[in-house]
Structure 1
Amino acid sequence: MASFKPTKIPVFPKLGEKITEDTLYWKNYKAPVQIKEFGAVSNIDFSPVAPYNFAVTAFTRIHIYGLFSQEPVKAFTRFKDTAYCGRFRSDGQLLVAGCEDSVVRLFDVSGKAALRMFKGHTKAVHVTDFTSDHYQIFTGSDDYTCRLWDIPNAAELTSYQEHTDYVRCGVASKLNRDLFITGSYDHTLKVFDARTDKSVMSMDHGQPVESLLLYPSEGLLVSAGGRYVKVWDLLKGGQPLVSLKNHHKTVTCLALSHNGHRLLSASLDRHVKVYNTTNYKVVHNFDYAASILSLALAPEDKSIVVGMTNSILNIKHRKNPEESKEVTGQQRRRPSYRVFVKGKNYVPKQDDYLVSKPVKQHLAKYDKQLKKFNVSQALDTALKMSAHGRKPEITVAVIKELERRGTLKNALAGRDEEQLSRILRFLIGNMFDARFTPVLATAADLILGIYHSVVGQSAIVDRLLRQLQELLEKEIDYQKNLLEVLGMLDTMFASSLPLKVSCPGMISGSNGLAQGEASTSRSQLQVT
């Protein structure tokens, strides 16, 4: 007796995302390294000088990690309350941070205790940064003020009180020591010049501003707040250029790739979006396990570091070309491969007695039911598997096998309202997929032939049949329109081709006409 042949599930091309250069570039990272911090990671900042350590601000601590270390190489714990916004100076030697107790602290990266403590704010300080001359810092606080401080004297130089709500983000110019920009929960962005006593430019983001980013040329400013990411042209007085709304929840942080060609935004919706800075379209997307509060890129995009609300620091390191080759080689030669093929290529000799071991056939549940000729149960099992695994090709393959056996009508007949509704929903969802149409159209035709007499007795079945009819009519209209367009294109292509004239035929025809005229004239002369 011949063995049972399992149902062959066809492999269809995936209708997913296209493989682009961005997909290959941003997916070329190793499995993430996850480090548990003491609280939500609110800020990450890379040192601008080698070895490019990064500072992680979480709860009452600031930890400094090496680029490939899983334990902090340095820790600053002299905070009485929650620390905020630990940032390096451009030479990597100093680090400044705010605190919930309203005191700003300045640290030497090689030391432990604070070098300077700046007191003047009355509420929590969420924004700190160095100016480009290395000798001043600016801060923003929940007391609605932003201030400029002198580092050598630990003295306040200027105070601006133009915001009407918490100041939660800011960025200093790297090209002009006197310029810095702040963002506030009053929906505004303000550009300050230390040489004046008020802001020199103001922009309305329309949402509480959570993060700011300056392009290296400093002609463009990016702001994030609410679900929006907006780009502003500072050279044209803060004119808005682009407004992006690709996140489902509040956007919390921004980052720029090393070459400035890609902009990254992270959100509480657990996604990191990568935009092309030429047209600001999303070219890639990262998913994380929890809401994201902070994001930073290492120089040359060698690492992506993300801080989340669940106190997890997620680090992804870029693969080296050598490592990629090694991984590919390991995939090609698996260690267990020799175990499975051991002895397979052995050829018995003439006098050897060969003992063959029966190979157990593993069948899917629907194949077991097909083997027992339970065609209705096999179809039901395939429908359930397609619903749970989202693989309609399984059900289509079973329907095709039932049609080949001539038992498809038996499998579809005798259904109650619930079972028939399940089949109709599957047809509605997949019948107009070009990969499945030839098989499912036959099944739909059989269903209409079997159940035409019970139409009107079930409201659910009638509704599904009407929906199927509407979709079918739309598909027919689409096909008619496509045929009309195809006819138009054929006409245009035909008219654009040059006409090919058969010259020999024309010449022979003209010669024949000339000979006929000559013979006629001769006969007329003879009559006369």
Structure 2
Amino acid sequence: MGEYRPLAVVSLPRRRQNTAPDQQQWKKYKVLWEGKEALSVNDMAFTPTTPHAIAVAHATKVEVYGVPSQSLLKSYTRFKDVVRAIDFRRDGRLFVASDDSGLVQVIDANAKVPLRKMKGHHGSVRSVRFCRDNLHVMSGGDDGTLRVWDISATSPLTTLKAHTDFVRAIDIADTNPFLVGSGSYDGTVRVWDTRHSSKPAAEQGEGQEEPNDAAAASAADEEDDAATSKQCLFRLVHGHPVESVLFMPAGRVVASAGGPCVKLWDLSSGGRMIRQIDAHSKAITGIALLRVGDGEEPVLVTASLDQTVKIHSMESYTVRHTFATPDALSCLAVSPRGDAIAAGMPTGDWFVRRRLDADRLNAVKQEEMEASRDEESELTTTIGYERAQKRRRVVAGSARFFAPDAEAITVDLRNKRKDTGLDKLLKSFQYQKALDRVCKGENACQIAALIEELRQRGALEIALRGKDPTTIEPILNFIHRQIGKEPILFDAAAHTLDVLLAENEWIYRQPDEKVNALLMKIKQFLGFERKLNSFAYEMQGAMDVILSGMP
């Protein structure tokens, strides 16, 4: 009797994927650094001056890390509550931070000393921005107000009753420092002209006693509402709670992110929505413009709770690349030079992806290859030692060990393969049990290998004979799933279907509901394939006629 050979499962050939030049460009953005904090990462921002460090706001502190050096540079801990938002001034000397207590602080980035502590918001402040003149700060809070602060004072210059719900986003146009956009959980985006300044907070009653006369209070509120409506240029209905607002470089288009979509609004045509980008399956938590290089069109970067960072073309509004992340994302930041993308997560994890040049990319690949060689060398050394130990033997009448000489015949028992449960069934000619067992799994290649083995043994009819609805259903599921796949799987599925119907005539006489449903699906698919093949042959004939008439 010949030696039994275990069932060989052949893997499907890997299809080569053609990578477009654009995808190759985004694949250069490698994860340079991964960090871990104790609590959720609420905001991140790159410093505007080179080298661009990354600031991470979490818990009651802000930490600045050097991206090239991957080390902690500075830590700011003079906060009494959870820090929610940060933003740097254009010269990098100051930054503004806000927390859950409603306090807005202007901090010296070098001395780590708070220069101003500005109070006025009632509740958490989730968005802050330095104005383009470097002398004013804007903040939006959970009290629904938008406030403009002078960094030389501690009281707001302007207070706008901006929204009816939490304000979550603020942005200022590059071309017009007085054009401000705000987004709120009331589902709207509002565009403001801060040149029409309303009354300062001190004149509006903050810090003063409330008027006793109800009529006077009502008149004051109406006057404030009139001033606010005068400053509001556009009210754009996004339809979802707005998490982020972004002005395009020209200042005529503003983007709003909320829910699973991004909407673009044309301010020059009265605030008309010109595009809606639906690229995520969950809420988007951050958007930013990434300027890849000089002379190239910037791209739109979005981060979402669906654990992805996506790059969108601003010309076709299509997704150019997707970066998968291990968890949902809570914030997003991009480097001013466009060579780095950072994102934070509610779990406290954060990462920085940086574009590597050709030399650095080759160096990283070389390091990976050397590390792989070291692991392989270590593994080979270990295996060689184990094999040498197995080949050592004891000579009768002697207590010493020795390695065999060149003429000795040694058998390495370590590589002997143990029979699996499937091999034991095949060795004992239990073909029906073997087929039923393998069809319960999801390994299509193993099922196809077993069917081919049964065909060569002439035992496929035996394995498929006398099936009942319970045991026939997994086989039909395999046929339905693989009938249109790889040729090796198609051949196995088609031949199995022929034998199955021939060996189980009860299918025609006493049909089962589930079995009939699967057979109808297979029939519909085969009919579609037949029509498709017929159309392909017709097209081939037409092309032959056209090509035959060409010189």
Alignment TM-score > 0.5, same fold: yes
Task: Please report how far the alpha carbon of residue 446 of structure 1 lies from its aligned counterpart in structure 2 after TM superposition.
Answer: 0.3
Find the residue that maps to 1:39 and give its secondary structure: coil
Structure 1 position 440 matched with structure 2 position 493: yes
Find the residue that maps to 2:341 and give its secondary structure: strand
Task: Please report how far the alpha carbon of residue 381 of structure 1 lies from its aligned counterpart in structure 2 after TM superposition.
Answer: 3.9
**Partner residue, 1:42:** 42
Specify which of 329, 334, 343 is matched with residue 297 of structure 1: 334
Task: Please report how far the alpha carbon of residue 88 of structure 1 lies from its aligned counterpart in structure 2 after TM superposition.
Answer: 1.0
Find the residue that maps to 2:377 and give its secondary structure: coil
Aligned length in residues:
487
Give the aligned residue type for 1:402: L
Are the equivalent residues in 2 in contact too, given 1:261–1:278 (CA < 8 A)?
no
Q: 1:358 to 1:38 in 2, by over 3 A?
A: closer
Are the equivalent residues in 2 in contact too, given 1:163–1:186 (CA < 8 A)?
yes
Give the aligned residue type for 1:292: L
**Partner residue, 2:322:** 285
Q: 1:488 to 1:106 in 2, by over 3 A?
A: same
Tell me, which stretches of 5 or more residues in structure 1 are unaligned?
Answer: 345-350, 499-528
Structure 1 position 266 matched with structure 2 position 319: no
Find the residue that maps to 2:478 and give its secondary structure: helix
Task: Please report how far the alpha carbon of residue 80 of structure 1 lies from its aligned counterpart in structure 2 after TM superposition.
Answer: 2.5
**Partner residue, 1:203:** 236
Task: Please report how far the alpha carbon of residue 16 of structure 1 lies from its aligned counterpart in structure 2 after TM superposition.
Answer: 9.0
Q: 1:485 to 1:442 in 2, by over 3 A?
A: same
Find the residue that maps to 1:292 and give its secondary structure: coil
Q: Distance in 1 between matches of 2:119 and 2:256?
A: 28
**Partner residue, 1:461:** 515
Task: Please report how far the alpha carbon of residue 440 of structure 1 lies from its aligned counterpart in structure 2 after TM superposition.
Answer: 1.5
Specify which of 416, 424, 429 is matched with residue 361 of structure 1: 416
Give the aligned residue type for 1:378: A
Are the equivalent residues in 2 in contact too, given 1:268–1:291 (CA < 8 A)?
yes
Q: Distance in 2 between matches of 1:12 and 1:213?
A: 47
**Partner residue, 2:435:** 379
Specify which of 400, 414, 425 is matched with residue 477 of structure 2: 425
**Partner residue, 1:151:** 151
Specify which of 520, 523, 526 is matched with residue 472 of structure 1: 526
Structure 1 position 183 matched with structure 2 position 235: no
Q: Which has the higher contact order (CA 8 A, sep 6+)?
A: 2
Task: Please report how far the alpha carbon of residue 90 of structure 1 lies from its aligned counterpart in structure 2 after TM superposition.
Answer: 1.1
Give the aligned residue type for 1:409: E
Task: Please report how far the alpha carbon of residue 300 of structure 1 lies from its aligned counterpart in structure 2 after TM superposition.
Answer: 4.7
Q: 1:297 to 1:37 in 2, by over 3 A?
A: same
Q: Distance in 1 between matches of 2:150 and 2:143?
A: 20
- Single out whichever of 136-145 and 146-155 deviates more from structure 2: 146-155
Are the equivalent residues in 1 in contact too, given 2:93–2:110 (CA < 8 A)?
yes
Percent of aligned pairs with the same amino acid: 31
Task: Please report how far the alpha carbon of residue 44 of structure 1 lies from its aligned counterpart in structure 2 after TM superposition.
Answer: 0.7
Task: Please report how far the alpha carbon of residue 243 of structure 1 lies from its aligned counterpart in structure 2 after TM superposition.
Answer: 0.7
**Partner residue, 1:399:** 451
Give the aligned residue type for 2:465: A
Are the equivalent residues in 2 in contact too, given 1:131–1:173 (CA < 8 A)?
no
Q: 1:312 to 1:437 in 2, by over 3 A?
A: same
Give the aligned residue type for 1:273: K
Specify which of 251, 269, 274 is matched with residue 241 of structure 1: 274
Find the residue that maps to 2:504 and give its secondary structure: helix
**Partner residue, 2:135:** 135
Task: Please report how far the alpha carbon of residue 326 of structure 1 lies from its aligned counterpart in structure 2 after TM superposition.
Answer: 3.0
**Partner residue, 2:216:** none
Q: Distance in 2 between matches of 1:332 and 1:378?
A: 41
Q: Distance in 1 between matches of 2:95 and 2:423?
A: 66
| Length-normalised TM-score, structure 2 | 0.80
Structure 1 position 324 matched with structure 2 position 377: no
Q: 1:37 to 1:384 in 2, by over 3 A?
A: same
Q: Distance in 2 between matches of 1:185 and 1:16?
A: 46
- Single out whichever of 261-270 and 368-377 deviates more from structure 2: 368-377
Are the equivalent residues in 1 in contact too, given 2:173–2:249 (CA < 8 A)?
no
Q: Distance in 2 between matches of 1:23 and 1:49?
A: 29
1:53-86 CA distances to partner (integer Å, 9 max, x unpaired)?
Answer: 2221223222222215666432222223222211
Task: Please report how far the alpha carbon of residue 255 of structure 1 lies from its aligned counterpart in structure 2 after TM superposition.
Answer: 2.6
